[in-house]
């Protein structure tokens, strides 16, 4: 594995998102002095926050999995979650509601889930679920060390015994085809393939290796931090500060000083110059390459994932049995991918994610109220032609109508829209293609073919975040920070074992 040559005593990390915080913690734990520069007044990056009229809103990811990776990140500086971060199990992980009115609660416990599947689709499908669960576990065990948690210097880095095992498991077949080997009910198949949206590829086009995302939420389970998702970056930043990491909030890095092929200092819009021996850049990829003054050549242009429209809604308290996460599947599920990925248009038959964070922590909304996060997949700006600034609010009205009709009768009568984020808004935050899901996980943007976390010609700069290895998601962002630290200090074996789970209260 290539690493930075020369001194690395002081490292500047640009960005206090999850990848930047993980990099800072691992570097501090390995004896480096670390300074983190963050443009916002708080940590989090894409794990953003918004406070409106007593509502405490998470504007970024809402599904948290793999708490053992959080534990590993804190343990890098000898810290634990105790007293700083409480993770609550979310059960069911999701409630899937289908266009025919049927519904399925998704549990991580194998017996509970098999019983739910049997009630939903019969004993043959329940038996298929158990076989699928075993395959997903094998997939994760095979992938974790050799692919998800590994740095690559070239495509030749893939030529390992794990590659043969992964191929034998069917990891390079299409995701939906592999799932069909185990379960035939089309509704049930959606529960184990909708995660391809996170990867930015339709299930019929996605490699089965990305079914590992389905493992993370349907088998490993989903958790929710008390205090909202913002509590996660707050806890990581607090642990880093206790370990001696210096934070410069409210400052934007405007330039990198160079001495030969090395970055010698970063400059901020506060006229501050921070000298460094190495730099970790977690900025959005276009800004990263602009700062470096270098864009690596690629045979194929980079392709952004589909985007999303998110509406944050306050409403009177809903029925307490309303799930934390509900997926409202439209009837024309396959058409959804054609609409947003191929045709660049909004979904004609919408499928929506409705998250109710107040199911886990009622204090996130005023007394007697609930907070909803409604997400609709949407075309990115590279493919789509929607005038989001002009038509975005009308589209949100249709989203609310769908939720009212299919999940929460009466929502329309007293719903308060607290905030809306469209692809145009994501673009204004610097996200390529106006997508918060970064680069699509196509074959040409996977593993060693994804933008590398080292840029040739720059001797001491390392990248971290969603657009580099290993990819999009909360666990992978944290792993990305560790991989960046490995490029600076040399590899330190991961303490996360594929067969273990973090303990929750």
* Mean predicted confidence (pLDDT) in 147-160: 80
Contact status, residue 309 vs residue 330, Cβ threshold 8 Å: no
Q: Is the pLDDT of residue 19 over 80?
A: yes
pLDDT of residue 147: 80
Phi, psi for 80 (deg, rounded to 5): -130, 175
Percent of the chain with pLDDT over 90: 86
- The upper half-sphere exposure of residue 183, i.e. CA atoms within 13 Å in the direction of its Cβ, equals 29
The 10 Å Cβ neighbour count of residue 304 is 25
Q: How far is CA 130 from CA 109, 111, 112, 176, 346, in A?
A: 11, 9, 11, 17, 36
C-alpha–C-alpha distance, residues 431 and 285, integer Å: 8
* Mean predicted confidence (pLDDT) in 14-40: 98
Architecture of domain 304-434: 2-Layer Sandwich (3.30)
Contact status, residue 232 vs residue 17, Cβ threshold 8 Å: no
Q: What is the pLDDT of residues 165-208, one digit of tens each?
A: 999 999 999 999 999 999 999 999 999 999 998 888 999 999 99
C-alpha–C-alpha distance, residues 5 and 13, integer Å: 18
State the angle between helix axes of 474-489 and 18-29 in degrees (0 to 180), rounded to the nearest 10. 40
Q: What is the pLDDT of residues 348-373, one digit of tens each?
A: 999 999 999 999 999 999 999 999 99
Architecture of domain 1-47+64-88+227-300+441-494: 3-Layer(bba) Sandwich (3.50)
- What's the gap between Cα 121 and its chain centre? 31
Q: Is the pLDDT of residue 500 over 70?
A: no
Contact status, residue 16 vs residue 38, Cβ threshold 8 Å: yes
The 10 Å Cβ neighbour count of residue 410 is 11
Q: Is the pLDDT of residue 122 over 90?
A: yes
Q: How confident is the model at residue 231 (pLDDT cuts 50, 70, 90)?
A: very high
pLDDT of residue 199: 84
Beta pairing class for 33-38 and 246-249 = parallel
Q: Is the pLDDT of residue 502 over 90?
A: no
3-state secondary structure of 173: coil
C-alpha–C-alpha distance, residues 298 and 311, integer Å: 36
Q: Where are the beta strands (DSSP E) in 340-421?
A: 352-355, 369-378, 416-421
Rounded (10°) CA dihedral 286, 295, 278, 432: 20
- What's the gap between Cα 400 and its chain centre? 25
Answer yes or no: pTM beyond 0.85: yes
Weakest-pLDDT range from 101-105, 110-114, 213-217, 295-299: 295-299
Sorted by where each begins, the domain ranges of the chain are: 1-47+64-88+227-300+441-494, 109-210, 304-434
Q: Judging by beta carbons within 10 Å of its beta carbon (0-12, 13-18, 19+), is residue 119 exposed, middle or buried?
A: exposed
497 CB-near residues (< 8 Å, 6+ apart): none
3-state secondary structure of 435: coil
Q: Assign residue 9 a region: left if phi > 0, alpha if psi is -120 to 50, beta otherwise?
A: alpha
Beta bridge partners of 404: none
84 CB-near residues (< 8 Å, 6+ apart): 74, 235, 238, 239
Q: What is the pLDDT of residues 77-95, one digit of tens each?
A: 999 999 999 999 999 999 9
Q: Is the pLDDT of residue 230 over 70?
A: yes
Compare 155 and 41 and report the one with higher pLDDT: 41
* Mean predicted confidence (pLDDT) in 437-450: 89
**63: its two tokens:** 């599904």
Residue linked to tokens 């001696």: 244
Q: How far is CA 186 from CA 132, 133, 209, 332, 344, in A?
A: 15, 17, 21, 11, 25
Q: What is the pLDDT of residues 374-431, one digit of tens each?
A: 999 999 999 998 999 999 999 999 999 999 999 999 999 999 999 999 999 999 999 9
The alpha carbon dihedral of 443, 154, 72, 6 has a sign of negative
Q: Where are the beta strands (DSSP E) in 102-182?
A: 103-106
Q: Is the pLDDT of residue 158 over 80?
A: no
C-alpha–C-alpha distance, residues 227 and 57, integer Å: 10
DSSP conformational letter for 338:
I
Mean pLDDT of the residues in the chain: 95
C-alpha–C-alpha distance, residues 470 and 295, integer Å: 19
Q: Is the pLDDT of residue 505 over 70?
A: no
């Amino acid at each position: 594995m290539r690493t930075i040559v020369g001194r690395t005593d002081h490292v500047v990390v640009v960005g206090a998102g999850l990848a930047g915080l993980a990099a800072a913690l691992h570097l501090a734990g390995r004896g480096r002095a670390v300074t983190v520069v963050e443009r916002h007044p708080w940590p989090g990056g894409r794990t953003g926050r918004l406070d409106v009229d007593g509502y405490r809103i998470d504007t970024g990811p809402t599904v948290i999995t793999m708490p053992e990776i959080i534990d590993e990140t804190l343990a890098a500086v000898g810290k634990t979650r105790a007293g700083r971060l409480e993770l609550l199990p979310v059960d069911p992980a999701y409630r899937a509601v289908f266009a025919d009115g049927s519904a399925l609660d998704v549990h991580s416990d194998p017996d509970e889930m098999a019983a739910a599947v049997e009630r939903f689709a019969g004993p043959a499908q329940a038996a298929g679920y158990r076989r699928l669960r075993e395959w997903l576990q094998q997939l994760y065990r095979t992938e974790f060390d050799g692919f998800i948690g590994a740095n690559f210097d070239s495509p030749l880095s893939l030529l390992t015994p794990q590659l043969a095992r992964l191929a034998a498991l069917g990891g390079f077949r299409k995701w939906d085809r592999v799932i069909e080997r185990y379960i035939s009910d089309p509704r049930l198949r959606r529960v184990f393939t909708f995660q391809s949206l996170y990867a930015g590829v339709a299930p019929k086009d996605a490699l089965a290796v990305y079914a590992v995302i389905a493992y993370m939420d349907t088998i490993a389970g989903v958790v929710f931090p008390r205090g909202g998702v913002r509590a996660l970056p707050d806890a990581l930043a607090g642990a880093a500060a206790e370990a001696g990491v210096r934070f410069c909030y409210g400052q934007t890095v405007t330039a990198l000083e160079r001495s030969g092929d090395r970055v010698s200092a970063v400059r901020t819009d506060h006229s501050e110059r921070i000298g460094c021996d190495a730099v970790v850049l977690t900025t959005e990829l276009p800004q990263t390459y602009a700062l470096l003054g270098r864009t690596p050549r690629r045979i194929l242009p980079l392709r952004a994932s589909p985007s999303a429209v998110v509406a944050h809604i306050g409403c009177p308290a809903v029925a307490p049995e309303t799930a934390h996460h509900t997926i409202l599947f439209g009837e024309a599920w396959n058409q959804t991918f054609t609409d947003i990925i191929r045709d660049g248009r909004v979904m004609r038959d919408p499928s929506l994610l409705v998250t109710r964070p107040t199911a886990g922590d009622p204090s996130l909304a005023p007394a007697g109220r609930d907070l909803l996060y409604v997400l609709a997949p949407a075309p990115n700006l590279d493919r789509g032609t929607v005038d989001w600034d002009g038509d975005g609010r009308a589209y949100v009205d249709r989203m609310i109508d769908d939720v009212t009709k299919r999940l929460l009768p009466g929502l329309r009568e007293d719903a308060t829209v607290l905030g809306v984020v469209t692809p145009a808004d994501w673009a204004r935050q610097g996200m390529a293609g106006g997508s918060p899901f970064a680069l699509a996980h196509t074959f040409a943007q996977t593993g060693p073919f994804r933008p590398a976390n080292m840029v040739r010609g720059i001797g001491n700069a390392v990248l971290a975040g969603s657009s580099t290895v290993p990819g999009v998601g909360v666990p992978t962002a944290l792993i990305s920070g560790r991989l960046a630290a490995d490029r600076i200090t040399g590899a330190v074996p991961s303490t996360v074992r594929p067969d273990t789970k973090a303990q929750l209260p």
